[in-house]
């Protein structure tokens, strides 16, 4: 069965410092991986995805993520955090392949708090 783990409920960083939000996944085949961000009282907003190719993917608002197949991880990173990055972040996975319905499996979310 597919699953996603986000081991940290909350990550605290100071503005200007680099940030990392961790994600590990489990699928039986090749994964498609996603990061979404959720601001209060808003829906989920797509940040970036890994489908195939370069393991380092770049997304919106300066975020990037590195796909590591051997460690089954897809950590979200940003070189310099902003206070406005404070939000709830979700990692999600779906299994590649034509038989897959496209259903996303989400982690439980990590709250990012960036302090001035």
Q: Which two tokens stand for residue 41?
A: 């009282």
Q: How far is the CB of 111 from another protein (least distance, A)?
A: 10
Q: Could you say whether residue 104 binds another protein (CB under 8 A)? A: yes
What is the distance, to the nearest Å, from the Cα of residue 43 to the centroid of all Cα atoms in its chain?
16
How deeply is 23 buried, as exposed, middle or buried, from its count of CB atoms within 10 A (0-12, 13-18, 19+)? Answer: buried
CB-based contacts of 37: which residues, under 8 Å, 6+ apart?
44, 45, 47, 87, 88, 89, 90
Sign of CA dihedral 85, 18, 8, 95: positive
* Contact string (CB under 8 A) for another protein, positions 27-66, x = contact: -----x-x-x----xxxxxx--x-x---------------
Q: How far is the CB of 22 from another protein (least distance, A)?
A: 15
Instruction: Tell me the number of residues near another protein by CB under 8 A.
Output: 23
* Contact string (CB under 8 A) for another protein, positions 63-92, x = contact: ---------------------------x-x
Among the listed residues 67, 78, 85, 107, the single contact to another protein using CB under 8 A = 107
């Amino acid at each position: 069965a597919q699953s996603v783990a986000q081991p940290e409920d909350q990550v605290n960083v100071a503005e200007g410092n680099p940030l990392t939000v961790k994600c590990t996944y489990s699928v039986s085949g090749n994964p498609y991986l996603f990061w979404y961000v959720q601001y209060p009282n808003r829906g989920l907003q797509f940040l970036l995805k890994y489908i195939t190719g370069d393991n380092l993917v770049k997304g919106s608002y300066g975020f990037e993520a590195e796909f590591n197949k051997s460690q089954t991880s897809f950590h979200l990173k940003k070189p310099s955090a902003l206070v406005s990055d404070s939000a709830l972040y979700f990692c999600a996975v779906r299994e590649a392949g034509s038989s897959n319905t496209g259903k996303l499996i989400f982690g439980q979310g990590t709250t990012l708090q960036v302090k001035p």
